[in-house]
Amino acid sequence: MKKKIQLATITAAITLVFSTTAFAAGWEQTESGAWSYVDEDGNKVTGAWKGLEDGRYYFDDKGYLETDTLVDFGGDLYYVDEEGRMVTNVWKKAMSIDDEKTIDWYYFGSNGKAYKGSDSAARPRDVGGQKYIFDEDGHMLYGWVNADGTQQDDNGPGGLDDPWKEGVYYCGTEDDGHVHIGWYKEGGRWFYFKSAGRKAANEKLTIKNEKGEAESYRFDKNGVRITNTMVSKNVVVNMGDEDDEDEASDIDNTRTRTNTYYYGKDGITLKSQWINTVPTATQNEADNADGIKRWFYADSNGRLVTNRVKEIDGKWYCFDESGIMRSGLLVLEKGKYAYTLHNPNADDDITASREILEEVVDNGERVVYFDPVSGARVSGKVKIELDDGTYDFLFDDAGNAVTGVKKDHLYYAGILMKNYNDEDGKLHEYTVNGKAYTVNNSGKLQKKKK
């Protein structure tokens, strides 16, 4: 009886031992060399990540360790290295899961997930002090990328003949890819990318040069820097304050003004300097069609001087409403250019006779002379060839054609009233402003005999 009790006790103890023994978790290797991991319950880890002391590992649906490859898990992309560990904060160039012919760059963040973009908008991401753009599958984009995150170069899904037209960001080459900031030249065209990486387009931009000096540039609708071109823009200004500009205003005392700027060969807005170029068709259609160059002047703000007489370097010049410098005998109205009365140079080819000039003055119009060569306003004595001959003129300090008596000589519409036929010993009578005068052949006043 005692033996039976002892035997039963031993059997129960053995049963208890086997029922409470745990399996030793660890690595297993198959004959083919594939690795698996067995957990504490004796089961292989399958289709999941396993965190161990030296990293995180991924095992496929059959329980085999994945190595040196992309892992698509839970809608996110990861990468495991040659030993199967998840990588973090690192770039990897890998074969696409969806297309084995495509090899792309990916970046895996601190949680191991690949950076991904949106399928509707480009979203630059910071990596190591640079910005990069990724598509919705995690591929690093390069070349030109448009606003919705589509790659625009020949190798991308949105390839175009001129990718720079639709492209908003420029992301370098296939093995670079960072979002470009600052100036970039392609095919002879210059572009500028602002601090967020977007291309400057259809706008005026002030950019500092290497010396820290601010310079103004303008970019067309495709982002190309404009050069050797005039650009006009309508602005609203307060009456009496020509330097105040607003895009819109509800104030009653405002008017619309057209500001025109000239961008030189380097694309910089020219300031405080003369410009010799062909006018736009809006400024002068005939000159534009014939390719005739005219002189303009840009003020200290870069705006072309228009519709006024302006002092430049101590001399006075006349500009019409388009900014073209006008010269010759001009008619001014309220101090502004009205029309050219006489300028026989090759560009204007406008001529007048003495009779026409006198009619203009009789009508009360103001005649001012600007040198046909330099364009500067003339004061004092000068000879001018009109249609019917060459005459001696006198202009006052404001450039006005003198009418009346100056230093015992008679002038009418600026012309010295003398005998231009060089006849000797003859006196001539003229009526100026309703008063009769007698002058000799040289135009000097003669006293009437008592």
Mean pLDDT, residues 295-319: 96
pLDDT of 364 reads: 92
Torsion of CA 266, 267, 273, 279, to 10 degrees: 120
Q: Which of 180, 325, 209, 323 is nearest to 267 (CA)?
A: 209
The answer, yes or no, to whether residue 346 has pLDDT greater than 80, is: no
Residues 394, 368: Cα–Cα separation, whole Å: 10
Query: Residues 393-450: pLDDT tens digits?
Result: 999 999 999 999 999 999 999 999 887 765 666 777 888 888 888 888 888 888 765 5
φ/ψ of residue 311, rounded to 5: -85, 125
The answer, yes or no, to whether residue 195 has pLDDT greater than 90, is: yes
Query: Residues 413-429: pLDDT tens digits?
Result: 999 988 776 566 677 78
336, β-bridge pairs: 333
280 compared with 426, residue with greater pLDDT: 280
SS3 416: strand
The answer, yes or no, to whether residue 173 has pLDDT greater than 80, is: yes
Q: Which of 280, 299, 171, 287 is nearest to 228 (CA)?
A: 280
The answer, yes or no, to whether residue 16 has pLDDT greater than 70, is: no
Token pair recorded at residue 71: 């892992």
Q: Which of 383, 404, 400, 405 is nearest to 392 (CA)?
A: 383
The answer, yes or no, to whether residue 260 has pLDDT greater than 70, is: yes
The answer, yes or no, to whether residue 301 has pLDDT greater than 70, is: yes
Share of the chain above pLDDT 90, in %: 72
Mean pLDDT, residues 291-304: 95
pLDDT of 440 reads: 86
Amino acid residing at 125: R
Mean pLDDT, residues 231-260: 63
The answer, yes or no, to whether residue 155 has pLDDT greater than 70, is: no
Other beta carbons within 10 angstroms of residue 104's beta carbon come to 21
pLDDT of 268 reads: 95
- CB half-sphere exposure, 190, CA atoms < 13 A: 13
The answer, yes or no, to whether residue 2 has pLDDT greater than 60, is: no
User: Using an 8 Å Cβ cutoff, are 29 and 64 in contact?
Assistant: no
41 compared with 98, residue with greater pLDDT: 41
The answer, yes or no, to whether residue 282 has pLDDT greater than 80, is: yes
User: Using an 8 Å Cβ cutoff, are 213 and 207 in contact?
Assistant: no
List Cβ<8 Å contacts ≥24 apart for 159-166: 164/189, 164/191, 164/222, 164/223, 164/224, 165/222
The answer, yes or no, to whether residue 20 has pLDDT greater than 60, is: no
Residues 203, 185: Cα–Cα separation, whole Å: 18
Amino acid residing at 320: D
pLDDT of 8 reads: 43
pLDDT of 386 reads: 93
pLDDT of 406 reads: 92
| Average pLDDT value over all residues in the chain | 87
pLDDT of 171 reads: 96
pLDDT of 50 reads: 96
The answer, yes or no, to whether residue 290 has pLDDT greater than 50, is: yes
